[in-house]
Amino acid sequence: MQTAWGEARFNLYQGTMLLDGEEFTMEVLGGDDLDNILLGVRWLQTKRLVADFPATVLTLG
């Protein structure tokens, strides 16, 4: 896959996330070419993700 840093290879995993007591299953991308794990990349095509670091709140909606 092409990234901002060039060509990279990823591993695809299945992840589980608990939000407001409801459990969701999502795709998780990881690999040696990534500094961070990418959670639910496809969810971000249809949902808005807001990270409020000072309040330690992550909102997906």
Q: How far apart are CA 58 and CA 61, in angstroms?
A: 10
Contacts of 54 (CB under 8 A, 6+ apart): none
The residue ranking higher by pLDDT, 36 or 10, is 10
- Interval 39-57 mean pLDDT: 79
Residue 29: other Cβ atoms inside 10 A: 19
- CA nearest to 41, candidates 5, 21, 1: 1
The pLDDT of 5-19, averaged and rounded, is 80
pLDDT > 70: percent of the chain: 80
Structure tokens at 38: 């990418």
In this prediction, residue 54 carries a pLDDT of 93
Higher pLDDT, 54 or 22: 54
